[in-house]
């Protein structure tokens, strides 16, 4: 059975395909379904609400079960910011360098132990019959003092996951091997949890 993933990101599709293939599910993008999904205004105040908005819109357009996710960084010292505004924290959507600069500037007076944060991902699957499944994944860590690493994207160069948070080896997400990152990541956790729920529905 085909499930539509509401994204243009083929890497997300590949990750989800690996997770769902044991269930006999083929994950496709909009062009493979003969569609062009338009941009959806993400008006939710939570990651779950935005994931639902995207999945519902894609389901209505395609008539297929649709999966979408929404994710971001939540910093305790900033009362959870940038949160759902992570991609446009510095003003321009998707400007990773400026977003990281702003974040580091906001935290510049804080000691390391006060720079706790977590990556959060909400994943949602909407079915044509109205059934909705949701799951959430989180990755705890700290914000470093300067960017490090060339892998990943977004806030990966400044986020140090707790698994690699050792004084002699503080590695950011951007410094980790892709396979290790997938195992730790908030998105991987959310998608694996969603897959379990999908499997229970089948």
What distance in Å separates the CA atoms of residue 52 and residue 125, rounded to the nearest whole number?
8
**N- to C-terminal Cα distance for the chain?**
11
- The active-site residue out of 14, 70, 96, 114 is 70
Where is average pLDDT lowest: 82-86, 98-102, 162-166, 195-199?
A: 162-166
The domain containing residue 98 runs over which residues? 2-201
Residue carrying the six token digits 């950011």: 172
- CA-based nearest residue to 172, from 154, 159, 153, 188: 159
- Residues whose CB falls within 8 Å of the CB of residue 139, separated by 6 or more in sequence, listed in order: 118, 119, 161, 184, 185, 186, 189
| pLDDT attached to residue 167 | 72
156 is catalytic: no
Q: Is the model more confident about 87 or about 151? A: 87
**Cβ atoms < 10 Å from Cβ of 60:** 11
Half-sphere CA count of 175, side-chain side, radius 13 A: 17
| pLDDT attached to residue 81 | 97
Burial class (CB in 10 A: 0-12, 13-18, 19+), 109: exposed
- Give one DSSP letter per residue of 32-50, joined into a string: GGT--PPP-----SSHHHH
> pTM for the complete prediction?
0.90
What is the count of structural domains for the chain? 1
| pLDDT attached to residue 201 | 66
- Residues whose CB falls within 8 Å of the CB of residue 104, separated by 6 or more in sequence, listed in order: 143, 145, 146, 158
Q: Is the model more confident about 4 or about 92? A: 4
Half-sphere CA count of 185, side-chain side, radius 13 A: 23
Model confidence pLDDT, tens digit, residues 110-162? 999 999 999 999 999 999 999 999 999 999 999 999 999 998 789 999 999 99
Model confidence pLDDT, tens digit, residues 43-57? 899 999 999 999 999
Q: For residue 169, what pLDDT band results from cuts at 50, 70 and 90?
A: confident
Q: What is the domain-level CATH number for residue 188?
A: 3.90.950.10
**Three-class SS of residue 165?**
strand
Model confidence pLDDT, tens digit, residues 29-44? 999 888 888 788 888 9
């Amino acid at each position: 059975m085909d499930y539509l993933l509401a994204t243009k990101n083929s890497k997300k599709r590949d990750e989800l395909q690996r997770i769902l293939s044991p269930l006999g599910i083929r994950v496709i993008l909009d062009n493979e379904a003969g569609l062009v999904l338009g941009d959806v205004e993400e008006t939710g105040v939570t990651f779950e609400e935005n994931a639902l908005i995207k999945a519902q819109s894609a389901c209505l357009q395609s008539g297929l079960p649709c999966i979408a996710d929404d994710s971001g960084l939540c910093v305790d010292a900033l009362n959870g910011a940038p949160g759902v505004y992570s991609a446009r924290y510095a003003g321009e959507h998707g400007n990773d360098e400026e977003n990281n600069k702003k974040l580091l500037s906001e935290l510049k007076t804080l000691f390391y132990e006060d720079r706790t944060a977590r990556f959060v991902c909400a994943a949602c699957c909407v079915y044509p019959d109205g059934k909705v499944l949701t799951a959430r994944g989180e990755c705890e860590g700290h914000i470093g003092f300067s960017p490090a690493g060339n892998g990943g994207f977004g806030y990966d160069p400044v986020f140090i996951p707790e698994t690699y948070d050792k004084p002699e080896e503080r590695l950011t997400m951007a410094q980790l091997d892709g396979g290790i990152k997938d195992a730790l990541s908030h998105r991987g956790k959310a998608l694996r949890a969603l897959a379990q729920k999908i499997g229970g529905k089948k």
